[in-house]
Structure 1
Amino acid sequence: MREQGLERPVGTLLQPLYSRGVYFPDFLTPFQASDGLESGLLAILDAPPARTAGEIDQLSRSSGISRWTSEIPGAQGRRELVRILRAYHRTVLAPHWEHIQARIEAERAARLRALLARGVEGLLADLGPTMRWENPVLHVKYPAEERDLHLNGRGLRLVPSYFCWGAPVSLADPELQPVLCYPVLQEPATPSLDAAWDGQEKALAALIGQARAAVLRTTASGATTGEIARAIGVSASSASRHATVLRDAGLVTSSRHGTSVLHTLTPAGASVLRASTRRARKPTADHTEVRRRR
């Protein structure tokens, strides 16, 4: 950041603006950002000045802001903010974006398969320890004040986030399109090639090789060749070769879906995986009761 001249603007503008307090301005996380960084930055530029000023004022009351932050509601202030955000992304985040995106895509694939297999009930039931689904209410361990968010038929956009730490967050304004941003800091269940396996999992790796054992684990919920490659950190051609060996052994079956090949476990493959992990599992603590959210 020093080389790019970002140390001062990050310290005087971004850090106060993106505070870790209970309030965060909604205009900084526009719905249009689902179409990519540039769409999100354009939405920040186009945010109504009155709304921006009101949210900056609320931020000032909750956590305090710097002189530079107070200038954001003006057109020039927002142009400067977008310039710094773009430079920060290019300098700090872009070099790691492939790894971040792979983790997000793995989470999205897992949610989609849960939806296809068990419907909305299955998708909401597996969102993680900070959320609990009890039809028709989704209970969320929320970091800010306790409140109920009524969807009223608007739907809920779930956003897996690499940088959302601890607990899910939502927009402050209940009139905006409902969004729930939840953390995916934990690595996926599929181990990477250099992961330390315990107990029976080591025995499986010794039997068929660590890479193929990782591929077998990855295909437990279904995975394309590209997803396997990203999950275990190998090339697509290597992932394809491992999947072929497992398919020839009767442990995996493959089918084409559009331009991708989806690999899933056969009954024999599922039996092998269950046998290898049965003794490795450890009991987990009961889910801690969380405050009611919707």
Structure 2
Amino acid sequence: MLRIHFTGEDLGRIRIASEPDPMWEVLMSLHRLRRRDTGVLFGPWMRESLPRVPSTTRLLTALAPPVGYSVDFLTPAAGGTIADRMEALRATPLRQVLRDLREFAHQNTTRRLPSWSRELVEGEPEGIGRLADAAHSYFDTVLGPFWERIRVQVCRDRSRRSAALAEGGWDAVLSTLHPSAQWDYPVLRLDFPVDQDLHLGGRGLLLQPSFFCRHAPTTLADPTLPPVLVHPIEHDTFWTTPEANPADGRALAALIGPTRAVLLSALADGAATTGQLARRAGTTPPNASRHITALREAALVSSLRHRNATLHTVTELGLALLEGDSLGIHV
């Protein structure tokens, strides 16, 4: 679990990023490619992008495994264009590089650092320069063709968060960042692969919506770096091309079955909690939760934490599936 500790001063210094962060999207999209997260959301992008991945990307994946710790210095806190981010990466202080490499070795005991990492350890500019060049090439080739669509999706999410802020204050924003979010001032708790505490100490927090962040939010391991919380957005499932097929992808196959059809149909009437959906489907809350998870993985349902309950709603793709009766299921 990740626990973020706020002070009153921190609440006044929370910001929502206005644009996607190129370096976080590079890192998160690398995770998607390595994990082969196909299906409805990323399948079309992955099929188009995989053949174009530059060979130099191996320099990045060596320090950014699909599971586990990735070095913090790959996502520098810098604004501006992708070129500005590359310059920030090239200017990474040697002490941070050494600290991150030690952390990488500590947390990824089954992975060995590549031989060329010696250049990083010795502070040779060619080492960090090659990493920056690889990141820039990957961005231009893999993310560049989709960047405007990615930006639109992230900006829409920011607009939704801003509307929640105007209506309910930061309590409304923090409690709905993710289905796992538990906001009880002064601590925000979130699902996280390791147990970690982040004490803001008056520095505030940057909320960074991320297009390729999937499942749980993430943050930097080094607590001395500027605090940032990278969180998933709610996607338009037809973001890649207008012709995207909503029935394409293995995740969608999980819908076949009467219980999930009943749950999806019930959500067409409006938002509902897990308990309410369980009663409508005539099943237990744990069983309903398992089926809702499958629906969410197929991008048919979205879930947001609200006070002490999780509210589920049907997505545009879920409505399209119900209206078209694509699976031939009648409930």
Question: If the length of structure 1 is used for normalisation, what is the TM-score?
Answer: 0.61
Give 1:126 shift: 2.0
1:53 to 2:98 alignment: yes
Contact 1:167 1:182 in 2 (8 A): yes
Q: Is the 8 A contact 2:209 2:231 kept in 1?
A: yes
Q: What are the Cα deviations for residues 134-157 of structure 1, in whole angstroms up to 9, with x where unaligned?
A: 2221111112x2122111111111
Change in CA separation of 1:137 and 1:10 when aligned onto 2, cut-off 3 Å: same
Residue 87 of structure 1 and its aligned partner are, at CA, apart by 1.0
Q: Is the 8 A contact 1:45 1:78 kept in 2?
A: yes
Structure 1 residue 285 and structure 2 residue 274: aligned? yes
Partner of 1:172: 221
Task: Call closer, same or farther: CA 1:2–1:174 in 2, change over 3 Å.
Answer: closer
**Structure 1 partner of 2:57:** 10
The answer as to 2:162 corresponding to 1:112 is: yes
2:38 paired with 1:38: no
Given the superposition, is the C-alpha separation of residues 285 and 45 from structure 1 closer, same or farther in structure 2, using an over 3 Å criterion?
same
| Residues 56 and 70 in structure 1, CA contact (< 8 A), matched pair in contact too | no
State the secondary structure of the residue aligned to 2:207.
strand
Instruction: Work out whether 1:122 is the aligned partner of 2:172.
Output: yes
**Alignment deviations for residues 46-89 of structure 1 (CA, whole Å, 9 cap, x no partner):** 11112212212321342322223443342111111111111111
TM-score for the superposition, normalised by structure 2:
0.54
CA contact (8 A) 1:49 1:74 kept: no
Is residue 218–residue 230 contact of structure 2 (8 Å, CA) maintained in 1?
Answer: yes
Give yes or no for the alignment of 1:159 onto 2:211: no
Query: Looking at both structures, which has the greater relative contact order when contacts are Cα pairs under 8 Å and sequence separation is at least 6?
Result: 2
Q: Match of 2:70, SS?
A: coil
Pairwise CA RMSD of aligned residues? 3.4
Aligned residue for 1:67, secondary structure, equals coil
Deviation at 1:132, TM superposition (A): 2.2
Distance in 2 between the 1:46 and 1:132 partners?
37
- Give % identity: 30
The aligned counterpart of 2:197 is: 148
Query: Are the structure 2 counterparts of residues 193 and 113 from structure 1 closer, same or farther at C-alpha, using a change threshold of 3 Å?
Result: farther
SS for the counterpart of 1:166 is coil
- Deviation digits for residues 242-274 of structure 1, max 9, x if unmatched? xxxxxxxxxxxxxxxxxxxxxxxxxxxxxxxxx
Which is higher, the Rg of structure 1 or of structure 2? 1
Deviation at 1:100, TM superposition (A): 0.7
Aligned counterpart for 1:137 among listed residues 183, 187, 190:
187
In structure 2, distance between residues paired with 1:54 and 1:278? 48
Alpha carbons 2:69, 2:104 under 8 Å: kept: yes
Contact residue 169 and residue 180 of structure 1 kept, 8 A:
yes
1:181 counterpart residue number: 230
Is the 8 Å Cα contact of residues 206 and 227 (structure 2) preserved in structure 1? yes
CA distance, structure 1, for counterparts of residue 105 and residue 174 of structure 2:
35
Runs of 4+ in 1 over 6 A off after TM superposition: 1-5, 189-197
**Counterpart among 110, 133, 141 of residue 83 in structure 1:** 133
